[in-house]
């Protein structure tokens, strides 16, 4: 069944008349749904998926009947946030958002580091990025919306009481990911390098906040790969009680 975020969902009504033109076009013209097929709607007011059956397909609306609901609380039970140095291309940001949302990241902060390249991110591009987040939520079965923040300048001092993990390409003064000890009752913030890594000055500045410096392995992962691998590892360790 196709799954859609719908902010105006009336979950108390068993009969629902869909009048949103864009969604009607997607259902009828793109997905070519038929009468009696089922689709899933959800909003962010609760953790339920609401399953509706199509009763009528008219020119300007679709009549649906709610047949059941299912508790779909798939969110992780701790705060895991990404602090990502801005990469050099928009398509990398899109990939990072899509895949990290699927894994379960709660919030995204993109910041301009010393080695980040100039990248103009307009309001229209931010709208597109938020649409990508919603599509990833629909596909993956999540039911909450991560926050997206893009910063030119940043001050990480408010994070000093969190657990801040700095991924680095050099092994000196680091711990391995498998030996990383975490307190899941505190916020966990993952800092990921840009294409050419964090500068020495940035590493020194990171030391001013409570941090853990982590070296993954001798191979250097791309900036868009690092977070997907590490966040999934951290989440699975929590699930397995490690």
13/85 same-domain check: no
Q: Which among 81, 98, 99 is positioned nearest to 158, based on CA atoms? A: 81
Question: For position 57, what pLDDT does the model report?
Answer: 93
CATH classification at residue 19: 2.40.240.20
Question: For position 241, what pLDDT does the model report?
Answer: 61
66/163 same-domain check: no
Q: How far apart are CA 34 and CA 53, in angstroms?
A: 10
- Among 71, 92, 111, which residue terminates a domain? 71
Question: For position 165, what pLDDT does the model report?
Answer: 86
**Domain span including residue 103:** 80-239
48/103 same-domain check: no
- 242 residues of the chain, pLDDT tens digit each: 788 888 877 666 678 888 888 888 989 888 899 999 999 998 887 888 999 999 999 989 999 998 888 888 888 889 999 998 888 888 989 999 999 899 889 999 998 887 777 777 888 999 999 999 999 999 988 888 899 999 887 778 788 889 888 877 666 677 777 778 888 888 999 988 777 777 778 777 777 776 787 877 666 777 777 877 888 888 888 766 65
Question: Which long-range contacts (C-beta less than 8 Å, at least 24 apart) are formed by 69-76?
Answer: 69/11, 71/47, 72/42, 72/47, 72/48, 72/141, 72/143, 73/47, 73/143, 74/104, 74/140, 74/141, 74/142, 74/143, 75/47, 75/104, 75/142, 75/143, 75/144, 76/104, 76/106, 76/235, 76/238
- Among 28, 44, 71, which residue terminates a domain? 71
How many distinct structural domains can be found in the chain?
2
50/88 same-domain check: no
- Among 47, 71, 95, which residue terminates a domain? 71
154/213 same-domain check: yes
59/102 same-domain check: no
59/93 same-domain check: no
Question: For position 80, what pLDDT does the model report?
Answer: 92
Residue 67 CA, chain-centre distance (Å), reads 30
CATH classification at residue 223: 3.40.1280.10
Q: How far apart are CA 45 and CA 23, in angstroms?
A: 20
8/37 same-domain check: yes
132/52 same-domain check: no
65/136 same-domain check: no
57/96 same-domain check: no
Instruction: Name residue 164's beta-bridge partners.
Output: 189, 211
Instruction: Name residue 80's beta-bridge partners.
Output: 188
Instruction: Name residue 42's beta-bridge partners.
Output: 5
136/54 same-domain check: no
């Amino acid at each position: 069944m196709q799954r859609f975020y719908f902010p105006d969902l009336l979950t108390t009504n068993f009969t629902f008349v869909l009048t949103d033109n864009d969604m009607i076009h997607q259902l009828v013209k793109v997905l070519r749904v038929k009468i009696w097929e089922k689709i899933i709607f959800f909003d962010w007011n609760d953790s339920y998926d609401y399953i509706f059956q199509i009763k009528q397909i008219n020119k300007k609306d679709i009549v649906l009947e709610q047949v059941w609901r299912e508790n779909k609380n798939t969110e992780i039970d701790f705060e895991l946030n990404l602090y990502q140095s801005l990469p050099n291309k928009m398509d990398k940001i899109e990939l990072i958002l899509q895949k990290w949302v699927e894994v379960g990241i709660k919030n995204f902060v993109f910041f301009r580091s010393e080695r980040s390249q100039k990248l103009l991110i307009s309001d229209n591009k931010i709208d597109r990025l938020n649409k990508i987040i919603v599509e990833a939520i629909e596909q993956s079965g999540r039911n909450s919306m991560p926050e997206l923040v893009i910063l030119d300048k940043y001050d990480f001092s408010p994070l000093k009481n969190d657990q801040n993990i700095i991924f680095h390409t050099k092994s000196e003064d680091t711990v391995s990911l498998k030996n990383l000890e975490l307190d899941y009752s505190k916020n966990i913030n993952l800092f990921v390098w840009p294409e050419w890594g964090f500068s020495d000055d940035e590493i020194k500045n990171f030391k001013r906040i409570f941090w853990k410096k982590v070296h993954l392995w001798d191979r250097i992962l791309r900036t868009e790969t690092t977070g997907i691998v590490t966040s999934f590892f951290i989440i699975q360790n929590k699930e397995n009680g490690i």
